[in-house]
Amino acid sequence: YNRETLVGLLIGLPLLYWLGALPQRALDIRLGDLSYGVFLNHFLVQWALIGQPLGWPALVTYLALTLMLSVAIQYLIERPVLRWRRQLRQVSPNGR
């Protein structure tokens, strides 16, 4: 391992352990719920903004579009699908 990896492990692992021990707050849960959508959608937004001038306005636009798309997909697709999945499990608890 190189020095950067070792420093990252020595600092990162205790930090992750400490952060995991903190009580969860509503904002933490909300951001965690959005993180997967942000991961998936940022590629689409980057692709849509190809050829646009770079700079702070482009960065703000990129972040705003990514967050808005992630929130929309969470409310319009992810939550209804999870609700439907829970309903299916209640109807058939044995998975049959």
Query: Do 37 and 12 touch, CB atoms closer than 8 A?
Result: no
Task: Give the whole-angstrom CA distance, residue 43 versus residue 90.
Answer: 36
* Residue 95 scores a pLDDT above 60: no
Give the residue numbers spanning the domain of 41: 25-91
Q: Which residue has the tokens 């903004």?
A: 49
What are the pLDDT digits (tens) for 5-47?
A: 998 899 999 988 888 888 878 888 888 888 888 998 888 888 8
Q: How many domains does the chain have?
A: 1
The Cα–Cα gap between 24 and 7 comes to: 27
Predicted confidence at residue 1, as pLDDT, reads: 62
- Predicted pLDDT of residue 59: 87
Q: Is residue 49 part of a domain?
A: yes
Question: Rounded CA gap, 59 and 3, in Å?
Answer: 32
In a domain, 19, yes or no: no
Does a structural domain hold residue 46? yes
